[in-house]
Structure 1
């Protein structure tokens, strides 16, 4: 629990952020070593190839990591949510562009200052290692999702991933624990899952018809049958009317 008046006291991502392992005084020092940035939806935090001189902790909003393919197509590598950490790399430049899907608030630290602070706070280094391991596991899941899963399996796993993120953030309650918020567009989802927009719409309609989900709005989906959605993700059942690509 942060003390009254703490500069990070109103941070909704506090429990998930890399700085969650720091005590009050340590967190104050850490916060003072950085700065707060705000971006409007559509603005770019950094471009692919830009010098990697800063690291970032996402406090509010959603970012997407994108890469342009040689033929001009866009691939979304990941969506980042409050508490996620980005920018740390062994390369001189960023491998992806980071763009705001929604208005975002970000804590920015120079890479040199962050590394110096982490060197004398081993709990921060351990937290960074855990985040890196989680990111590697997520990257492997995405390779599996794109390489072997059907369209229905990709969308089901995507919805479950988002539902899990909302639960981890503490933004859900018992009454809405299975409600999923989609701040990104259908085009974004398609570029992340490797699917056409028409396929996404068709798959969601089929899941709705089977009473697996309810389309509350274009940005809100309620999961009605969690177990069957998990079975689809695992490839143990099919959704009538769904296609493979």
Structure 2
């Protein structure tokens, strides 16, 4: 499937009007710097399941997520997929220490990103310590999330893993202003299974059990936390 790209043109929406700016690395920039960054960016739209970048691919671009959710994953030597995270609007991707992407990324649903050619972006950032500090904040946050993921994949029951995922996902959505009675789940049960290190059958059974126990209500496109206190207790176990 073909990406919708306006080749060689800056992002259609001015950076100063970007809805995700408060959550993105761009929050560190003043008006003039935003205008300069705007000339470096290019807006791309991806359809569901379309790849954005691939593991071991040379990293020539970096990406600011504007809309939608992206799956971040590694392919294991035996062909299995381990999802290591889900990127939300405001997240910045593509910084590769050794010049190649260590993970793959694709669109869980419709996704819009602002893409920057890496060489141009690095030159822009090198002259602005405030942006470097902002990027370091993002890297530190990503490390914290990786540590949480290691704990999540450890010695916890399936019920605790699913409850933790739902509580943490709801908290992440709240931080970017996407909070409502219904917590949307744009990823599939298979995606959740590959993130939690479970089988899809176990994830489906656990969702059903949590609903039967009155912890969640399963609705079209997501869930509602019927007993948030109990879900948080399971997540903290």
- Fold conserved between structures, TM > 0.5: yes
CA distance in structure 2 between the partners assigned to 1:86 and 1:226 by the alignment = 31
User: SS in structure 2 opposite 1:15?
Assistant: helix
Query: In the TM superposition, what is the alpha-carbon distance from 1:159 to its structure 2 partner?
Result: 0.5
Query: Alignment partner for residue 234 of structure 2, among 228, 232, 235?
Result: 232
| Structure 2 residue aligned with 1:72 | 79
Query: In the TM superposition, what is the alpha-carbon distance from 1:183 to its structure 2 partner?
Result: 0.4
User: SS in structure 2 opposite 1:59?
Assistant: strand
1:60-209 matches, cutoff 5 A: 60-172=67-179, 176=180, 178-209=181-212
For the 8 Å contact 2:152–2:161, the answer to whether it is kept is yes
CA distance in structure 2 between the partners assigned to 1:16 and 1:189 by the alignment = 25
**Pair 1:15-2:22 in alignment:** yes
CA distance in structure 2 between the partners assigned to 1:149 and 1:31 by the alignment = 45
CA distance in structure 2 between the partners assigned to 1:113 and 1:75 by the alignment = 32
CA distance in structure 1 between the partners assigned to 2:51 and 2:74 by the alignment = 13
Q: CA 1:28 to 1:6, structure 2 compared with 1: closer, same or farther past 3 Å?
A: farther
User: SS in structure 1 opposite 2:154?
Assistant: helix
Query: In the TM superposition, what is the alpha-carbon distance from 1:9 to its structure 2 partner?
Result: 4.9
Query: In the TM superposition, what is the alpha-carbon distance from 1:171 to its structure 2 partner?
Result: 2.1
For the 8 Å contact 2:66–2:113, the answer to whether it is kept is yes
Task: Kindly report the root-mean-square deviation, in angstroms, between the aligned alpha carbons of the 2 structures.
Answer: 1.5
CA distance in structure 1 between the partners assigned to 2:170 and 2:219 by the alignment = 15
User: SS in structure 2 opposite 1:187?
Assistant: helix
For the 8 Å contact 1:6–1:28, the answer to whether it is kept is no
- Runs of 4+ in structure 1 deviating by more than 3 angstroms, as ranges, are none
For the 8 Å contact 1:12–1:60, the answer to whether it is kept is no
Query: Alignment partner for residue 212 of structure 1, among 208, 215, 235?
Result: 215
For the 8 Å contact 2:182–2:222, the answer to whether it is kept is yes
TM-score, length-scaled by structure 2: 0.90
TM-score, length-scaled by structure 1: 0.88
Stretches of structure 2 lacking an aligned partner (at least 5 in a row): 1-11
For the 8 Å contact 1:34–1:109, the answer to whether it is kept is yes
For the 8 Å contact 1:157–1:233, the answer to whether it is kept is yes
Query: In the TM superposition, what is the alpha-carbon distance from 1:12 to its structure 2 partner?
Result: 2.9
Length, aligned pairs only? 226
Stretches of structure 1 lacking an aligned partner (at least 5 in a row): 236-245
For the 8 Å contact 1:212–1:228, the answer to whether it is kept is yes
